Chain A
Amino acid sequence: MTDLTQLTQPAHKLSRSSKMSQSLGRLLITIAALVAVWQGLIMLFDLPPYLLPTPLAVLEKLVQRYDVLLYHSWITGQEIILGIALGLSLGMLFALQMLLFKSVKRWLLPVLIASQAVPVFAIAPLLMLWLDYGIASKVAMAAIIIFFPVTTCCYDGLRNTPQGFLDLADTMQASRWQRLRHIQLPAALPALASGIRVAVVIAPIGAVAGEWVGSSAGLGYLMLQTNARMMIDEMFAALFILSMLSVALYFTTDYLLKKLIPWDL
């Protein structure tokens, strides 16, 4: 008798690989369309290179100045990754504190909400003053900007554990710690994953904004410098790398989260 699962498996693999090639195809077509529109705008309105360089000029800069671009990308990349790590750690810690200690929640929650009323850009100069022009102030900016979404998503996940799971844990005489470790924390992971997806999208904004306010390296710094010197093609090259960095970060994170947290509640 033929095992049906054996018959369906290759079909499943085929459909997965065909899905991947379809996605790749869509991506290439989108990029080609954007480049065509870009080139078309330049030709249609006869735009000078200092307003909008051609895609080819930007590509040339990417090749010629790869060492400079790579150096500044490395700096910004570090700021983003460290900022995400710090913001995630703090966000999860705050969410846990609010879940475990009701009195802490009563004090922290209003402060947390009020902190969102202060624009991160407005406190950037202060961070430069307190943490210097190095990487620390940009890491802090990225961490601050992701702190709120991470905290709220994680806290929502923690306090919305399905009641049935908690009842089951109670009938099994679970301690508060065991309940948190084996039920509430894993149950909060899908919600936390949503927070992480938002975080990886907005963390680069915090890092680059920090570089704009005061820095000596990084893609934001490079964009400011090249803009001031009318090296618009290089500025676009830096912008292109920044966009690619953000997109790659999002899709990598999304892929990993789907692999690591394949369930939903």
Chain B
Amino acid sequence: MRGAGISISIENASLQYHQATTPTLQGCTLHIPARQWTCLLGRSGSGKTTLLRYLAGLLVDQVSWQGTLIISDGQPLNGRIAYMAQQDLLLPWLSVVDNVCLSYRLSGQTITPDIQQQAQHLLEQVGLAAQCQSLPQTLSGGMRQRVALARTLMQDKPLVLMDEPFSALDAVARHKLQSLSFELLKDKTVVLITHDPQEAVRLADALYILNGSPAQAQAIAVPEDLPPRALSAAAAQIQQHIFQVLGQDYD
């Protein structure tokens, strides 16, 4: 899906679970720019995943929302989202290529040879063409996340929501997958939740820290050069700043 992409503005938002006595987010304002990467940082329980799940439409009956949610083209987000979680969520009973085609199966469409070919092409892009008929349990953690990335790309949605998709990988695999994801998702609006300040500074066009209780979003300036960034003095300085801001929330 090409075009201008979609941006999202959240203004003065409050979000509270029906069973909870206090809101998770309050007075939260942030802007998710179109066709760029927005990274959300914050300690565990700060509400990052809740916000992401709300945007994904997974909390419809569980939370009350107040505030403004503006989508640039005025259309609802429903059906225009691809979701990538910390677990790869590959179905163990399907082959790699069938997992990549999952969205077609779940919408009741027949998997035509064209769709198969498209999936095969994406698997080539993530370097797993040879494993297309393998079962996910025969692959390493890094390979499985690359299949999940191919599945996300196959959906071809303008908004990609990523909840710590690289966190379970070793440092080298993580670095490689970050670069690959950044390259392949360059036309998408991406929201990435991460616990890793280095990852956030490397990939973010826009960066927010959710801190406080209830949480608010604090914008953090990113280095001027374009992501994915190499480690530099400016990047290191911002990382240090992030640690200080996050540290306040632990005190």
- Stretch touching chain A among B9-17, B20-28, B88-96: B88-96
A186 to B107: give the CA distance in the assembly, Å.
17
Q: Which residues does chain A contribute within 8 Å of B108, judged by CB atoms?
A: 175, 178
In the complex, what distance in Å separates the CA atom of A117 from the CA atom of B85?
45
B-side contacts of A170, CB under 8 Å = 56-58
Closest B residue to A165 by beta carbon equals B89
Query: How many contacting A-B pairs (Cβ < 8 A)?
Result: 62
The tally of residues in A whose CB lies under 8 Å from a CB in B reads 23
Give complex CA distance A162, B93 in Å. Answer: 14
Chain A proximity of B163: nearest CB distance (Å): 10
| Distance, CA A171 to CA B84, complexed state (A) | 10
Q: Is A110 an interface residue (CB 8 A)?
A: no
Q: Which residues of B128-146 are within 8 A (CB) of A?
A: 135, 137
Q: In the assembled complex, which residues on chain B have CB atoms less than 8 Å from the CB atom of A171?
A: 56-58, 81-83, 161
Task: Check if A164 sits within 8 Å of B92, measured CB to CB.
Answer: no
Contact with A along B22-63 (1 / 0, CB 8 A): 000000000000000000000000000000010011100000
A173:B85 contact, CB within 8 angstroms = no
Is A173 a contact partner of B79 (Cβ separation < 8 A)? Answer: yes
Majority secondary structure, A binding face: helix
B83 nearest in chain A by CB position: A171
A174 to chain B: which residues have CB within 8 Å? 106-107
Task: Confirm or deny: A84 has a beta carbon within 8 angstroms of a beta carbon on chain B.
Answer: no
Say yes or no: B93 contacts A263, CB within 8 Å: yes
User: At the interface, yes or no: A16 with Cβ under 8 Å from chain B?
Assistant: no
CB of B7 within 8 Å of the partner chain: no
Q: Are A178 and B105 in contact (CB under 8 A)?
A: yes
Complex CA gap A165/B105 in Å reads 14
Contact B56 A167 (CB under 8 A): yes
Q: Please, which residue of chain B has its CB at the minimum distance from the CB of A178?
A: B106
Cβ of A249 under 8 Å from chain B: no
Interface set, chain A 159-179, CB cutoff 8 A to B:
162, 164-165, 167-175, 178-179
Contacts of B82 in A (CB 8 A): 171
The distance in angstroms between the C-alpha atoms of A265 and B90, with both chains bound, is 11
Chain A contacts of B161 at CB under 8 A? 171
Q: How far is the CA of A162 from the CA of B82 in the complex (A)?
A: 19
* Inter-chain contacts of A263 with B (CB < 8 A): 92-93, 135, 137
Q: For the complex, what is the distance from the CA of A186 to the CA of B92, rounded to whole Å? A: 9
**Which residue on B lies nearest to A169, using beta carbons?**
B106
Residues of chain B contacted by A136 (CB below 8 angstroms) = none
A262 within 8 A of B: yes
Chain A residues in 8 Å Cβ range of B155: 172
- Contact residues of A between 221 and 265, Cβ < 8 Å to B: 261-265
> What are the residues of chain B within 8 A of A162 when measuring CB–CB?
89
- Is B177 interfacial (CB-CB < 8 Å)? no
Cβ 8 A contact of A186, one of B58, B91, B137: B91
B106–A164 touching, CB < 8 Å: no
Q: How far is the CA of A174 from the CA of B107 in the complex (A)?
A: 5
One of A167, A175, A178, A186 near B93 (C-beta < 8 A): A186
Chain B residues with Cβ below 8 Å from A178 are 105-108
**CA separation between A105 and B121, bound complex, in Å?**
46
Q: Complex formed: what's the CA distance from A178 to B104 in Å?
A: 11
Q: Is the CB of B89 within 8 A of A164?
A: yes
Residue of A with least CB distance to B102: A172
The residue on B at minimum CB distance from A186 is B93
Which A residues have a C-beta under 8 Å from some C-beta of B?
162, 164-165, 167-175, 178-179, 182-183, 186, 189, 261-265
Q: A171-B56, A171-B81, A263-B135 are in contact. List 9 more A-B contacts (CB 8 A).
A: A164-B87, A164-B89, A170-B56, A172-B106, A173-B107, A174-B107, A178-B106, A183-B106, A263-B92
List the interface of chain B (C-beta within 8 A of A): 53, 56-58, 78-79, 81-83, 85, 87, 89, 91-93, 102-103, 105-108, 135, 137, 155, 161
